[in-house]
Structure 1
Amino acid sequence: MSIQILPDVLVNQIAAGEVVERPAAVVKELVENAFDAGARRIEVEIEQGGLGLIRITDDGGGIAPQELALALTRHATSKIGSLDDLEQVASFGFRGEALPSILSVSRLSLVSRTPGDGHAWQVDGAGALESEKPQPAAHPHGTSVVVRDLFFNTPARRKFMKSESTEFRHIQQLVGRLALSRFAHGFRLLHNRRKVLDLPPVDDEVGREERVGTVCGEEFLRHAVFLDEQRGGLRLWGWVALPAFARGQADLQFLYVNGRAVRDKLMTHALRRAFADAMHSTHYPAYVLYLELDPARVDVNVHPQKAEVRFRDSSMVHDFLFGTVHRVLRELRPDPALNRPAQFVAPMPPAPEPQQSGFRYAAPASRYEEAREVAAPAWTALAAQVAQLPQSQPVSLSMPAPASGLSVEPEEQPLGHALAQLQGVYILAQNRHGLVVVDAHAAHERVLYERLKKQLAEGGVPSQALLVPERLQLPEDAVDALEARREELSRYGLQIDRAGPGSVLLRAVPPLLSREDVPAFVRSLVSDEDLRESSHHLGEVLDAQHRVMADMACKAAIKANRRLTLPEMEALLRDMERTELADQCNHGRPTWIQVDMAGLDRLFLRGR
């Protein structure tokens, strides 16, 4: 076949393959055009998941009648006029491909009215523009783009679409993402003539938080902290959820660069590293974050859908994001009133309407029995543990002795005072909010881990020589790996010498490890591929170091069924209050929960 120039319709359909991936992509392009038109209120109407109808209506500046047909022409745009404009793009639909691409695979109507026009004007097309001459139409100031029968002329593309509910879910998530990018804009979303979302414009902190709660859920907002930091011409602000709110999927990760929603690998990597030692490796952090910088320092013209960006100084951006979020997380301390890693919600059956009489409503006896059955095992065990405690327990710590009775702890002791140990696993404490339940092993593990990190940063973990060296039998390649890392392992307090082809001698160990824990710890070292293989990449080295310290802390932490005294429990609570990231262990599990008085009252139907 000879070389030939492709027809315009086919060129646009090829471009549509890049821009119009699914109905949600059409919504994205058209809503972003509304942003650029100066709209303040945007309505998105959907039918049949977007395959039947997509109608985007805005109150923006509109399009002049003589430019309506031009707007549907490939590479026609009002957003850029020179290379300088392209290198510091501040608008969204600057490529001039979206409208002609959408037209090429749908039946499209474009209706618009500028403030100076007495009425609106309209152009139509099905795969291609029917006429370049616009027709009069009725429409308020602004623009409506109506897209019907998406992919009607490309049936192979239409077959790849998912179900109506799936396609609409993508649209709903997209509109939520766009709504978080423009708080001053109002959004309305309808599906099959049913209102799904109605967000008025907001311009204050309370309104912004309400919108974040609507899109991301109140649970996210309750576990999130707000940050706002500027440095070196960069500003990062928004909400970051505590590590204990980590998700099984990356569905609550919203990133914006100069108001543009992006999926950027560099930014995602920086944020994941900020959570690295506070979250399980299979979980994902949740955040709504906004990065602002000079448009000339970021290239947004690197992806057909403008979903990715490229920074002029990527390492600076990476370090700024990592450092800011990492610092915010590490400055948090256990705070039952604000930063609860988990909250116990007592079950409560719905109560019937009270009788219209002078008597207070009393729940039927069956409900009291139901609540009593739920609460009885825990409280019976608690009573048994408390009964075994001595009446007077001396406390020798730097902190004051816990007062007797229902005391209120000082502000600097938010985790309260220890009451008892439950089943050799949990510490029960009382604070001003109610009951605190602490996982002793998880909490001690985090305290030891942070202590080890500090020691390593200050020169190395202390070492304690063994009176009698201990011999360990290991595979020969494992002995080779330990011998190659001998100097590095000494920083962790380990002195290891080769004793033969398949054995080593342990001559010194970290003081926090018992002699019984050392063999298992050494074997875990040689099973770590990152330690056995030579690696000079800083990130991999740091990850390996963190795993070594995390494993050491896990081996040395309080074991289940170890009986603790009240002073030991008190000391652990105070250590948690002074320790960074004490709300979760090194694996991302919560270390404590707060059972407030309202939850306890619900358990026992008090006041019902």
Structure 2
Amino acid sequence: MTIRILPPAIANQIAAGEVVERPASVIKELLENAVDAGASFIDILIERGGSRLIEVRDNGVGIDKSDLLLAARPHATSKISRLEDLSQIDSLGFRGEALASIGSVSRMSIVSRTKESNTAWKTNVDFAGHASDVVPAAQEVGTTVSVRDLFFAHPARKKFLRSENTEFAHIETVVKRLALSIPHTRIRLKHNGKVVLDLLPSQSFAEQQRRVAKVLGGNFLDSAKYFSTEGDGMRLAGWISVREEGWPNTQRQHFYLNGRWIRDRAVLHGIRQALSNMVVADSQPAYLLYLELPATEFDINVHPTKQEVRFSEPRLIHDFIYSSVVSGVTHGVQPEIAQIRLQQDEPRESSHLRPSSAFKSAYPHSKLGSSQVSQYQVRQQLRAYEVMANSDQKQEKSVTQVKLGDPIAQLFDHYLISHYQSNWYLIHIARARLALAIESFNRGQSESQPLLIPETIQISHQHHQAMVGWVEHLQAYGFSIGALSESQWVIRRIPIVMRYFDGAAMKTFIARLAEEEQTASREKLISVLREDQVALCQLTTEEKLQLLANCQQYASRLTKEGWPDFIVPIAEDWLATQFVAS
């Protein structure tokens, strides 16, 4: 059997099998190119469900005459040029496969004009991805890609297409999905000469809501809350709808990463976990969420459809989404605040995937865990946490309100400085976490959360029986621990109050319990917890906010007895004594 290199026409058609599945696949690729070109208006013409004609016209930057000959060649792209670029992709397309793949299974033509050119230029593309001679054409600045007779030379592929209405329904889904990620761009969709969808650009929050309602239906917004959370180089904003009767399917579940629609297991798990107690059986929540983070913190080049992603810190992303959704669905954000957030996200000059100006100014060289968020945004999120913390206080009589204010700085890893009006406070982080955990155990609270990645722990054979005794006792406090073997155990759930404890310290704590010869008890649990040192690290903004809210709730119950031992008020008079003139 002789090994041979396939002719370009056959190679392109094989590649097209991954990219071009149906007319909707063509629409997706062409729309992404239009968005990357900075278009503010995208006009889409469809005939017979896309089998006869798919035409996408935009008013973007256009393609230069000299580049038009390369546009449909395999792996020809203007979006990346070096290997390093794959680790910081900020465009929807980047592989240079789409036009070559589409051209290999259809009759395709490209007409384009740049603002520097006095005329437009046109080329036709053959099966091998070669462009014909470029000839003058008539068109305004922008690009028009026409795809005719899709799969005309491939009867086997064409017979798998569904009815005209079904194929167009898939096209409409793709168009609406993209429209939700580019609110500043007008999109018009026509089928067989009839305008099916015409979405005007949104310049205000009210206009954006009208656009969302037109795409997802007015009943979505009737029960939806808008929220916005920012921290640790990340921002999550959008709408969540959890109505009493739930939603019948997942058609109104949309999650965008830097403007790209994705489906990721860690993301979906974080959302489902946050909404698990709010959705009735056999129903679904509805949401439209936008996550922004630096392009260096995820890899989108893992699947042909570019709808799957690999995060560098999946656990951190999961926890951020979980806490943001819990806070957002409970409290939301006032419309005027949402308007401020929308104004910060002005249309991008070239690629809408580049972080907003506000995002770039806050995180010029962002890495997860080293954030600098605005004090305004911090205060907004803290108020949400204060509402949660104060909800339990309403049930307790004779409680004095304590306000610890905004987190200002973290010192030497050990201390957190906060400020409220004219008051300043110094908080010992490890002591605060310990006190909050102990109080939770004393009050019999058992609220827990699953670990995204379960932790395994080694327990010696001699302590196996003791561990068996502790497992049932720990379940009452929110732990879920199971045996994998005589010496290996797995931690699957932990109390929410311990969610920010270091993983290694958590395993050491469980191992210490197993070594205790005494019968499992709450007193012994708390005793071991007191003895173990909580690992110290730089807190994220989200952790600072939640720690302050929990400390406020705790301190409010103890003010008659004095401040707890992990909070020290900083008085101006005391500071003055440290600078007495010699």
Q: TM-score range by the shorter chain?
A: 0.5 to 0.7
- The 5 A counterparts of 1:38-57 are 38-57=38-57
- Please say if 1:253 is aligned against 2:253: yes
Q: Shift of the alpha carbon at 1:193? A: 0.8
**1:223·1:245 contact (CA, 8 Å) conserved in 2?**
no
Paired residue for 1:555?
A: none
TM-score, length of structure 1 as denominator length? 0.57
Paired residue for 2:192?
A: 192
* Runs of 5+ unmatched residues, structure 1: 333-397, 400-453, 463-483, 495-528, 544-608
- The 5 A counterparts of 1:88-167 are 88-129=88-129, 131-167=131-167
**1:235·1:293 contact (CA, 8 Å) conserved in 2?**
yes
Deviations 1:29-67 (A, max 9, x none): 101101111111001111111111100000011111121
Which of residues 445, 460, 465 is equivalent to 2:444?
A: 460
Equivalent residue of 1:288, what SS? strand
Change (3 A) 1:139 1:492: closer
- The 5 A counterparts of 1:207-246 are 207-244=207-244, 246=246
**2:228·2:328 contact (CA, 8 Å) conserved in 1?**
no
Paired residue for 1:329?
A: 329
Q: Distance in 1 between matches of 2:278 and 2:100?
A: 48
Equivalent residue of 1:11, what SS? helix
Change (3 A) 1:493 1:91: closer
Q: Shift of the alpha carbon at 1:298? A: 1.3
Q: Distance in 2 between matches of 1:245 and 1:254?
A: 20
Q: Distance in 1 between matches of 2:164 and 2:314?
A: 40
Equivalent residue of 1:280, what SS? coil
Q: Distance in 1 between matches of 2:191 and 2:224?
A: 31
Change (3 A) 1:73 1:273: same
- Range moving further from structure 2, 219-228 or 239-248: 239-248
Q: Which residue identity does 1:272 align to in structure 2?
A: R
**1:121·1:134 contact (CA, 8 Å) conserved in 2?**
yes
Q: Which residue identity does 1:247 align to in structure 2?
A: W
Paired residue for 1:278?
A: 278
Paired residue for 1:61?
A: 61
What is the root-mean-square deviation of aligned Cα atoms in Å? 3.2
Q: Shift of the alpha carbon at 1:92? A: 1.5
- Range moving further from structure 2, 238-247 or 263-272: 238-247
Q: Distance in 1 between matches of 2:481 and 2:175?
A: 42
Change (3 A) 1:8 1:230: same
Paired residue for 1:27?
A: 27
Equivalent residue of 1:244, what SS? coil
Q: Which residue identity does 1:241 align to in structure 2?
A: S
Paired residue for 1:307?
A: 307
Paired residue for 1:592?
A: none
Change (3 A) 1:284 1:122: same
Q: Distance in 2 between matches of 1:331 and 1:488?
A: 36
Q: Which residue identity does 1:85 align to in structure 2?
A: D
- Range moving further from structure 2, 130-139 or 148-157: 130-139
**2:111·2:120 contact (CA, 8 Å) conserved in 1?**
yes
Equivalent residue of 1:13, what SS? helix
Q: Distance in 1 between matches of 2:440 and 2:299?
A: 40
Equivalent residue of 1:44, what SS? strand
Change (3 A) 1:455 1:45: farther
Change (3 A) 1:46 1:489: same
**1:461·1:492 contact (CA, 8 Å) conserved in 2?**
no
**1:111·1:120 contact (CA, 8 Å) conserved in 2?**
yes
**2:186·2:201 contact (CA, 8 Å) conserved in 1?**
yes
Deviations 1:274-311 (A, max 9, x none): 11122235322210000001111111111112111111
Equivalent residue of 2:81, what SS? coil
**2:482·2:490 contact (CA, 8 Å) conserved in 1?**
no
Change (3 A) 1:185 1:487: same
**2:227·2:237 contact (CA, 8 Å) conserved in 1?**
yes
Q: Which has the larger radius of gyration?
A: 1
Equivalent residue of 2:271, what SS? helix
Equivalent residue of 2:110, what SS? strand
Q: Distance in 1 between matches of 2:229 and 2:445?
A: 34
Q: Distance in 2 between matches of 1:230 and 1:71?
A: 39
Q: Distance in 2 between matches of 1:162 and 1:223?
A: 35
Paired residue for 2:503?
A: none
Q: Distance in 1 between matches of 2:442 and 2:12?
A: 62
Equivalent residue of 2:277, what SS? helix
Q: Distance in 1 between matches of 2:147 and 2:133?
A: 19
Paired residue for 2:290?
A: 290
Change (3 A) 1:167 1:17: same
Q: Shift of the alpha carbon at 1:171? A: 0.9
Change (3 A) 1:127 1:245: farther
Paired residue for 1:521?
A: none
TM-score, length of structure 2 as denominator length? 0.59
**1:72·1:100 contact (CA, 8 Å) conserved in 2?**
yes
- The 5 A counterparts of 1:375-394 are none
Q: Which residue identity does 1:148 align to in structure 2?
A: R
Paired residue for 1:319?
A: 319
Q: Distance in 2 between matches of 1:285 and 1:250?
A: 8
Q: Distance in 2 between matches of 1:306 and 1:168?
A: 22
Q: Which residue identity does 2:14 align to in structure 1?
A: I
Paired residue for 2:72?
A: 72
Q: Shift of the alpha carbon at 1:161? A: 1.4
**1:220·1:245 contact (CA, 8 Å) conserved in 2?**
no
- The 5 A counterparts of 1:553-572 are none
Change (3 A) 1:115 1:530: same
Q: Which residue identity does 2:234 align to in structure 1?
A: L
Equivalent residue of 2:28, what SS? helix
**2:258·2:293 contact (CA, 8 Å) conserved in 1?**
yes
Q: Shift of the alpha carbon at 1:102? A: 0.3
**1:245·1:286 contact (CA, 8 Å) conserved in 2?**
no
Paired residue for 2:459?
A: none
Paired residue for 1:341?
A: none
Paired residue for 2:535?
A: none
Q: Distance in 2 between matches of 1:14 and 1:220?
A: 41
Paired residue for 1:588?
A: none
* Runs of 5+ unmatched residues, structure 2: 333-394, 397-437, 447-466, 497-582
**1:61·1:115 contact (CA, 8 Å) conserved in 2?**
yes
**1:64·1:113 contact (CA, 8 Å) conserved in 2?**
yes
- The 5 A counterparts of 1:520-599 are none
- The 5 A counterparts of 1:408-487 are 458-460=442-444
Q: Shift of the alpha carbon at 1:330? A: 4.2
